[in-house]
Homo-oligomer: A and B are copies of this chain.
Amino acid sequence: MSAAKKSELGVTPLSEDVSAWYNELVFKAELADRGPAKGTMVIRPYGYRIWELLQEQLDQRFKDTGHVNAYFPLFIPQSYLQREAEHVEGFAPELAVVTHGGGKELEEPLVVRPTSETVIGEMYSRWITSYRDLPVLINAWNNVVRWELRPRIFLRTTEFLWQEGHTAHADQAEAMEETLRMFDVYAEFALNVAAIPMVKGEKTPTERFAGAVRTFTIEGMMRDGKALQSGTSHYLGTNFARAFDITYQDADNELQHVHTTSWGMSTRMIGAVILAHGDDQGLVLPPRLAPIQVVIVPIGRGEQGDAPRAKAHELAAELAAAGVRVHVDDRDASPGFKFNDWELKGVPLRVELGPRDLDAGQVLVAQRVGPIDDRGRPVKDTLSFERFVAGVPQRLDDYHDRLVVRAQAYLDEHRGRADDWDTFERLVRTGFADALHCGEEACEDDIKTATTASPRCIPTDGEPEEGACIRCGAPSAYGTRIVFARAY
């Protein structure tokens, strides 16, 4: 059965081996490929279109919250990294270093940016002089490099694409407000665009960004119960302002350090989409990130297919005019082959149109995720051309909502409260465990060794609770249960 299934789809079923499924699917669906240099990836057009749609919708949210885009250099003098002690400690092991340029050895090696706090700190110290210059609300879309020993496409690659927001404020209150605003933007985006309900919370000290005072994270649940950190927002206090001398004259002519924030979301989010929604048949793409939202498959060989094909293109033109991303699959291949292919590629709506449908003025609409019949096949809706075309936007919205409900149900089923160690161990094997913890790093390490689970976050919506640490029995920290899980 499994071998037969794999030969049909070309991909190991998710229900058998999530890791094999993921690796095979990424290639088979032509989302990405491995680059020649170890740890690098090539994002193929189908995968890159997801990124473009993500960029467009996330960028709009940045602009709506008053941010502007800019570009900072790829190369950073090595000495800059060393100015913030925790920052260099966190990033030094992951750096790629340019030692030669223009045929000569450089006097000072250049680091390929792993993140841009340092070079942006330097620029902000030049640009900011007065309280009138604040706040500075800048975002950058770029590529960063963090050396990766165990690369996995989209999830961990030596080079990845992301955006990094960097803001500077007059005081802590305003900077914290910004940190939380972007944290909310990420969670709202994940839910309303990627259809992934996130667990929102603050990182424990060990999991904080190197150089941050506070780090907030959104953690998605993947189909194997693991957590995927999908976006982070950091309050950096005056750490980088002190390291790079970013000061301003306040209204009373006093010199003050600015308070900075940074926040990022990356191509990792494509991995989140694959792993949060996919199934044995392949990808399941949320409509707002789907390169193709509707595929129309005209049926009928040779001349028999001419009229359905012409009608398919006519309907596609109407949908495209209404802003729907639609594709007509008129390849010379069997309908069965095409159905499997678009299933694998996760297209939300598949439309069939044969000669008899054409005569009857109707199409058959199947949904990638939706009601199924007794034989496990999708129930197809028969719709007149007009009703079909007019109804697509609503149908896509409903489809989005269905994915959210399904993902939320999955999260709820695989998240539980652990009041004893056995329950904790059982829960983190298949999902998230909410448990009390002492907050000690040694105890976190101990849990990690025993279960491979780590603290994901202190949930923002956690009820006040205190008691004994789930592992060592010492008094709990944080004032609430924290979420543990295995993580990507």
Contact = CB atoms under 8 A, between A and B. Distances in A.
B93 A103 contact: yes
Interface stretch (A45-53, A222-230, A371-379, A380-388): A45-53
A97 B99 contact: yes
A37 B75 contact: yes
A80 B36 CA distance: 9
Closest 6 CB pairs of A and B: A102-B147, A40-B73, A35-B73, A45-B68, A43-B71, A97-B100
One complex includes copies of this chain to the number of 2
Contacts of A159: 73-75
Contacts of A149: 102
Interface of A: 33, 35-37, 40-45, 48-49, 51-52, 68-77, 80, 92-103, 109-110, 112, 119, 122-123, 126-127, 138, 142-143, 145, 147-149, 158-159, 161
A411 to B, nearest CB: 31
Given A97-B99, A110-B37, A112-B112, A49 B74 contact: no
Contacts of A143: 74, 142-143
**Counting chain B CB atoms within 10 Å of each CB, which of A71, A92, A112, A159 scores highest?**
A71
Contacts of A42: 70-73, 123
Contacts of A97: 98-101
Nearest to A67: B45
A45 B166 CA distance: 13
B33 A123 contact: yes
A119 B36 contact: yes
Given A80-B36, A97-B101, A143-B142, A45 B69 contact: yes
A271 B43 CA distance: 30
A40 B120 CA distance: 13
The winner among A37, A138, A147 for most chain B CB atoms within 10 A is: A37
Nearest to A109: B100
Contacts of A147: 101-103
Given A98-B96, A101-B97, A45 B70 contact: yes
Nearest to A104: B147
Q: Which of A73, A94, A96 has the most chain B CB atoms inside 10 A of its CB?
A: A73
5 contacts: A95-B101, A95-B102, A97-B100, A98-B112, A102-B148
Given A40-B75, A75-B40, A77-B37, A69 B98 contact: no
A92 B52 CA distance: 33
Given A48-B68, A74-B145, A95-B100, 17 more contacts: A33-B123, A33-B127, A36-B77, A36-B119, A36-B122, A37-B73, A40-B73, A42-B73, A43-B71, A45-B69, A45-B70, A96-B101, A96-B110, A98-B112, A101-B158, A102-B149, A103-B147
Contacts of A95: 100-103
Contacts of A36: 73, 76-77, 80, 119, 122
A72 B112 contact: no
Contacts of A45: 68-70, 138
Nearest to A112: B98
Nearest to A111: B37
Contacts of A145: 74-75
A303 B216 CA distance: 44
A68 B96 CA distance: 30
Nearest to A99: B99
A293 to B, nearest CB: 16
Contacts of A52: 69
A444 B413 CA distance: 75
B43 A70 contact: yes
Contacts of A93: 102-103
